[in-house]
Structure 1
């Protein structure tokens, strides 16, 4: 029968006694809930329910229309050495009343906790300490990096000392194959092995004792038991040796095992530090000071002193200290480490800049628009940290195995000892084989297999402008076989341009000049497209007079003394004109979904001068993205609210066969759900209207430059609006998932092969220690290969 817990839940949104009654009734319907009372004055609910009922209680409160304020907390955990340690910390935190969800990452030694906002941090820290580990609130990354560096230096010193002391003990074994038979006297072996066992190896005894007190087992317990057995057997053999006979001692086994384990942990720490290099690289982008302009004076101030709308001066070669808007100056910005964009981006007044990017050749004045945790860089770091803290679904298997791993190994070691003893083998042989079982069966590799790969994969993805929000998205993305694209702003630029034009009278350049003159001063997107075309063709645009807007039809004015008008088909009809020779072109362009503008000369005898067709231009790289997906046997689909003509044109240009046009925002999610029935679907979009479809898809991918709503709904965010990052995101997820599977394979193989070999006497403790150390190092090193990943070179774009 489940133990009952009394939950104290803060509730927001209650305004009257009926609200409190509604919450009380909702909580009373939760299975097992009893003694429910809701206090409107303190806005708290008190309820007794079975342990582990918190999620159900929170769901009941939300269903009633109210909320329990939640927050997330990160704790730095010390003393974890293997997967079973991470599991024990997780269970200890889950037992704390008010904790909803916990994820403990062995690779970065952090616990990510979702809890009720009113729960005190000290309660969680105390729970971890009672489980036998240390816990603290993370300091800033610079301090964490310095502490990690000191810890790494201390580990290196311990390894060097252990190797120097153990080497003379193992040297006779190494030279024996060359016909040299000699052995250090027993007292010398004792002198060399004792400091290794009890000084350099003290960490194993301390951690093992904490585990025993907490009623659990871990790697340290296995090492402490195994090496103590070897050391104790050596003392026994030495004490009971006959006079004049050299006893058979095992000091070298215990000392070498400890030295190898220390070496493995040191190499593992170094490798784990490299997996977190992406976070450190992003943190290093944050400048600590800025030059603020105040009443014409330049002030050197700390970043924390800046306020919104402050003006800061950024000199050539400096990093932008804030997110802001350029007020003065022209330059280029190197945003490679933020967006993954390899080429410097031109910047001019009115353009936005991102804190952490490097200013190029110009002196710029920037108005502050975001500070602290609201900057793009801070949000990127937060997303990467959250992704690295989260657990992939495949990790659940490892967690279940780690819970029973150490007890199972202890049983196997006892069975090995008993089995060899019953077979008639000497006690020292039986004991050494049992020691070998204890030493090789280290669960470290199991605990590191998944988080090390996720940290390396999400880190290298972030370097190339791909932000993976959670580990579940990373694991799912490897199986995607269908990608659904929104059109506007995703595959197309979202800004109209002139895609077709034809003159009916005079030259096309003259017609473009006249049309550009009519559009002077207008902010309409079509006007901007017209003027950009004039600028691109280096045409001189004459001035316009008597300019007037023709509501619902277009615009009119006088240019070089000629009365002109530019507008839609309604304007053409009102002028009493027919399309004439432009009729076929107009019909074809309308079928493509283009927006048509007719240039007319007004007067006593109106005449048609030209026809312009506007359309959305494809983004650079859109065709390459579709080709890259096709090369991976991933089908592409176009889902848009635009008309069928424009959707068909884009699909044909890109080679997309499956088109869903004129789909309302509310129906986009339903379309995605239908596609999911026989495939794993990724949805790519950038707007508010894409958010339901992004959430409905197996994987939502939000394009950079899109809305915050879209990015919130997506599991992956692309920092640049480059469609080529879509196949790149799927590629890094596949490679990361492959590394996870490889790591788990090797972690299990080491134990599946090593434990039987040790139990049957084919593996002495020294070799077992070497194999154990190698397993952890190989798993983390394998994950680090992901750091060499780069997006594949795209196929050349068809002109």
Structure 2
């Protein structure tokens, strides 16, 4: 697999963003970027803390995009700042949380003790001295981000926390300073300090969970060795991998990772490619075998020739595909964006109404303020912004670990709706290496003569049937040369001159279109087709027209696990269809070997390559959500036409570029696995959105009615984000079932 076709012509610009806390921040950054002339699209992801920007040819440079992020009140960073190849410490960033806990505990303990009749309340001065550093030093980040949001006439989580906790602190100051001498008023310093501490604790736990969702990317980055053993003029020299050039010869020792992609020149070995395919069994590699950077060499010392370096390697391509999927915004996220755009202003209005309602109905002003603070705190939309991207990151990451590369979030979201899966036959359900099993010459030509002509005519073609003819002639030791004036007729066959004579090789249908008289061999053709063989014919162009010269029968074998893969899909209630260019008899014979039911319309035979997309569109017009699975260049239009295109990783780059999902192992059993991880990821998205919306829908009225104090509201708000991230992380435990692997 090369990467040329997987790289967009106008690559997007990725920017890391620090300081985002909720869905409202996401909307604000997107708005700031989209305002720049020349920006075509801007997608901001809270979970990855990054933005992906598509710009026109004359659009703004990266520096201007970064300036826009900073002007919006956030910190532009390196694109991969959140994805470090080294696993960070589990306690990284805990210091502010620890300080907040240490300062808040003396304020909380007397509250708890009061429930048991113990009056340990600290003097007002001590409460002030403990709460104020938490409010204005540890909480400075909320003021800074909230101020930027207020200046932009928008709102975010930081603004709600800043307003709410400041109100609690200011109310305590007012009650303390206006109290009569010798009295001890009830103060609310503990509420503001504990809320800030709890929010900081929640953000720290959330950051830890985010690091786990990016573990798949970090693991892929870690596969890149730092040093390669270069064979130079002075012998073997260790050089940084970044200095390796295409064409260099590298030594790879037993147990080492291949530093880049290339070809095996000397030696033989077994290679662990599980990082690429998800397949744990090592693969035998002989001379001229393809080697992939990041895979592990077995017990043989080998020499390889470098074929691709840097961003052109397969590993870089995989990393880019996974990053693209994790940075993308799922269609379901649009609803969240619409809600978050108006969420904070609505919450501020609700808090104001709550304050006035409690105060104007005769309740003490301090009680009205504290209830309004609880509304502000519990309404922070952190979980709302994390619900979708966290699940997508976890789902695409674990899928990549098992050889399923999901290129975009839309494919992931649509795959769970699929009710029809259409398979290309050759190379997808079958091994794709057909053999010439029978050659029957017509009268006047021997078998070797017919095979020599056929091999010469097919020697310039990469079609699987052409390769089978050439292989058979080579096995028999026949000598053949290149044809003259070769012409390929797409979907039908080949025409050319061999030894001053003009020949055609192609399907029986093409022969009928050309009105070749095949009656002399119709019986043999029918018998071969009934046995499941693909039958082609060779004709010679003579002075009296086209004359049949030979019949050729080709046989292919089902891929290991293909029958089980189709059965697994059927068990999920999904209809399966095989699309083949073979004649009806041969296609149905292979279909029955695979467990398909031709009588139920599960076989589409005699389909020209250019008509596959039309068949897929017809299935879609029948009300179905269709997935197309293929591997060849001629499958690309059908893959693009399907709701979800799945390309076999052993196929062509064109197919993989057209598909939304790539199955790196080329195993049809991964189709059911891809649909399964889509099901589970979408389920997690829905669960997360349900809890995120449900939390606010239930929490805001409870707070407004006075059933929640600010401390409880702060704890609930902090835990809502953690619960969403934790729920998404359950996807990391997913594995394809035995029927899918």
| Residue 181, structure 1, aligned to residue 122, structure 2 | no
| Residue 779, structure 1, aligned to residue 724, structure 2 | yes
Q: In 2, are the aligned partners of 1:141 and 1:283 still within 8 Å (CA)?
A: no
| Residue 85, structure 1, aligned to residue 25, structure 2 | yes
Look up the match of 1:274.
212
| 417-426 vs 583-592, which moves further | 583-592
Look up the match of 2:664.
719
Look up the match of 1:641.
581
d(CA) in 1 for partners of 2:151, 2:468: 74
Q: Which stretches of structure 1, 4 residues or longer, exceed 6 Å deviation after superposition?
A: 498-501, 527-532, 544-552, 582-586
Change (3 A) 1:498 1:172: farther
User: Per the alignment, in what secondary structure is the counterpart of residue 612 of structure 2?
Assistant: helix
Question: Among residues 62, 70, 74, which one is paired with 2:14 in the alignment?
Answer: 74
Q: In 1, are the aligned partners of 2:251 and 2:301 still within 8 Å (CA)?
A: yes
Q: CA deviation at 1:145?
A: 5.6
Look up the match of 2:260.
322
User: Per the alignment, in what secondary structure is the counterpart of residue 221 of structure 1?
Assistant: helix
Q: In 2, are the aligned partners of 1:71 and 1:117 still within 8 Å (CA)?
A: no
Aligned pairs for 1:155-304 within 5 A: 155-295=93-233, 297-304=235-242
Q: CA deviation at 1:448?
A: 0.3
| Residue 735, structure 1, aligned to residue 675, structure 2 | no
Q: In 2, are the aligned partners of 1:326 and 1:367 still within 8 Å (CA)?
A: yes
| Residue 754, structure 1, aligned to residue 692, structure 2 | no
Q: CA deviation at 1:128?
A: 1.4
d(CA) in 2 for partners of 1:752, 1:318: 55
Query: Which TM-score applies when normalising by structure 1?
Result: 0.78
User: Per the alignment, in what secondary structure is the counterpart of residue 422 of structure 2?
Assistant: strand
The runs of 5 or more residues in structure 2 that have no matched partner are 1-7, 440-450, 460-465, 484-493, 495-504, 509-520, 537-550
- The Cα offsets for residues 268-327 of structure 1, whole Å up to 9 and x where unpaired, read as 000011111111110001112111112471121111222212111110000001111111
d(CA) in 1 for partners of 2:552, 2:76: 68
Change (3 A) 1:782 1:336: same
d(CA) in 2 for partners of 1:162, 1:617: 67
Q: CA deviation at 1:246?
A: 1.3
Q: CA deviation at 1:596?
A: 7.8
Q: Which has the higher contact order (CA 8 A, sep 6+)?
A: 2
d(CA) in 2 for partners of 1:546, 1:421: 101
Aligned pairs for 1:403-552 within 5 A: 403-497=341-435, 525-526=467-468
d(CA) in 2 for partners of 1:615, 1:361: 37
User: Per the alignment, in what secondary structure is the counterpart of residue 495 of structure 1?
Assistant: coil
Q: In 1, are the aligned partners of 2:257 and 2:293 still within 8 Å (CA)?
A: yes
| Residue 668, structure 1, aligned to residue 607, structure 2 | no
User: Per the alignment, in what secondary structure is the counterpart of residue 684 of structure 1?
Assistant: strand
The runs of 5 or more residues in structure 1 that have no matched partner are 1-67, 502-514, 533-540, 553-566, 571-581, 598-610
User: Per the alignment, in what secondary structure is the counterpart of residue 770 of structure 1?
Assistant: helix
Change (3 A) 1:591 1:402: same
Q: In 2, are the aligned partners of 1:132 and 1:214 still within 8 Å (CA)?
A: no
User: Per the alignment, in what secondary structure is the counterpart of residue 263 of structure 2?
Assistant: strand
| Residue 131, structure 1, aligned to residue 78, structure 2 | no
d(CA) in 1 for partners of 2:660, 2:150: 41
Look up the match of 1:624.
564
Question: Among residues 624, 633, 653, which one is paired with 1:679 in the alignment?
Answer: 624
Aligned pairs for 1:696-715 within 5 A: 696-715=641-660
Look up the match of 1:349.
287
User: Per the alignment, in what secondary structure is the counterpart of residue 467 of structure 1?
Assistant: strand
Q: CA deviation at 1:656?
A: 2.1
Q: CA deviation at 1:137?
A: 4.0
Change (3 A) 1:289 1:496: same
Look up the match of 1:110.
50
d(CA) in 2 for partners of 1:461, 1:71: 24
Look up the match of 1:309.
247
Q: CA deviation at 1:500?
A: 9.5
Q: In 2, are the aligned partners of 1:468 and 1:474 still within 8 Å (CA)?
A: yes
Q: In 2, are the aligned partners of 1:627 and 1:795 still within 8 Å (CA)?
A: no
d(CA) in 2 for partners of 1:478, 1:528: 43
Q: CA deviation at 1:669?
A: 1.0
Change (3 A) 1:246 1:616: same
Query: Which TM-score applies when normalising by structure 2?
Result: 0.84
d(CA) in 2 for partners of 1:112, 1:222: 27
Look up the match of 1:122.
63
Change (3 A) 1:740 1:73: same
Q: In 2, are the aligned partners of 1:497 and 1:617 still within 8 Å (CA)?
A: no
Change (3 A) 1:357 1:290: same
User: Per the alignment, in what secondary structure is the counterpart of residue 493 of structure 1?
Assistant: coil
d(CA) in 1 for partners of 2:699, 2:65: 38
Look up the match of 1:592.
531
- The Cα offsets for residues 629-686 of structure 1, whole Å up to 9 and x where unpaired, read as 0110000001122222221122111222311111112211111111002110000001
Look up the match of 2:462.
none
d(CA) in 1 for partners of 2:250, 2:47: 39
Q: CA deviation at 1:139?
A: 5.3
Q: CA deviation at 1:586?
A: 7.8
d(CA) in 2 for partners of 1:116, 1:149: 37
Q: CA deviation at 1:223?
A: 0.4
d(CA) in 2 for partners of 1:76, 1:547: 62
Q: CA deviation at 1:436?
A: 0.1
User: Per the alignment, in what secondary structure is the counterpart of residue 230 of structure 2?
Assistant: strand
User: Per the alignment, in what secondary structure is the counterpart of residue 332 of structure 1?
Assistant: strand
Q: In 1, are the aligned partners of 2:33 and 2:69 still within 8 Å (CA)?
A: yes
Q: In 2, are the aligned partners of 1:593 and 1:643 still within 8 Å (CA)?
A: no
User: Per the alignment, in what secondary structure is the counterpart of residue 618 of structure 1?
Assistant: coil
Question: Among residues 311, 316, 328, which one is paired with 1:378 in the alignment?
Answer: 316
Q: CA deviation at 1:548?
A: 7.6
d(CA) in 2 for partners of 1:596, 1:550: 24
Q: CA deviation at 1:496?
A: 1.9
User: Per the alignment, in what secondary structure is the counterpart of residue 173 of structure 2?
Assistant: helix
Change (3 A) 1:145 1:526: closer
User: Per the alignment, in what secondary structure is the counterpart of residue 557 of structure 2?
Assistant: strand
d(CA) in 2 for partners of 1:685, 1:459: 23
Change (3 A) 1:349 1:548: closer
